[in-house]
């Protein structure tokens, strides 16, 4: 999954600064639907990460059945928190 491709797919632009509030809401909703239907473990994790970045990620216990996947998601959250400040 290419980040810019996913931004264009869900939000119509590859520049996050140009995403209008309504487009953000609609794009996050489409991502959540795709996340729920995704069977590929790697794509599902990538969608969860993108959802996390845009404030729409489901809780880890709901998102992932596997503890290793939940731990990887926690690591991602920690990395993002550390990168932000």
- Please give the chain's pLDDT, 85 residues, in tens: 688 999 999 999 999 999 999 999 999 999 999 999 999 999 999 999 999 999 999 999 999 999 999 999 999 999 999 997 5
Structure-token pair, residue 26: 């609609």
Total domains in the chain come to 1
- What's the confidence (pLDDT) of residue 85? 54
What pLDDT is recorded for position 84? 78
Instruction: Write the DSSP symbol of residue 59.
Output: P
Query: What is the domain extent for residue 25?
Result: 3-84
Task: Give the count of beta carbons closer than 10 Å to the beta carbon of residue 35.
Answer: 20
Q: Model's pTM, two decimal places? A: 0.90
């Amino acid at each position: 999954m290419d980040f810019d491709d996913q931004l264009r797919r869900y939000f119509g632009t590859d520049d996050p600064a140009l995403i209008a509030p309504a487009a953000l809401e609609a794009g996050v909703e489409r991502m959540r639907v795709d996340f729920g239907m995704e069977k590929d473990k790697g794509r599902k994790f990538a969608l969860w990460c993108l959802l996390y970045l845009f404030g729409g990620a489901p809780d880890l216990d709901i998102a992932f059945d596997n503890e290793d996947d939940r731990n990887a998601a926690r690591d991602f959250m920690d990395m993002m928190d550390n990168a932000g400040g």
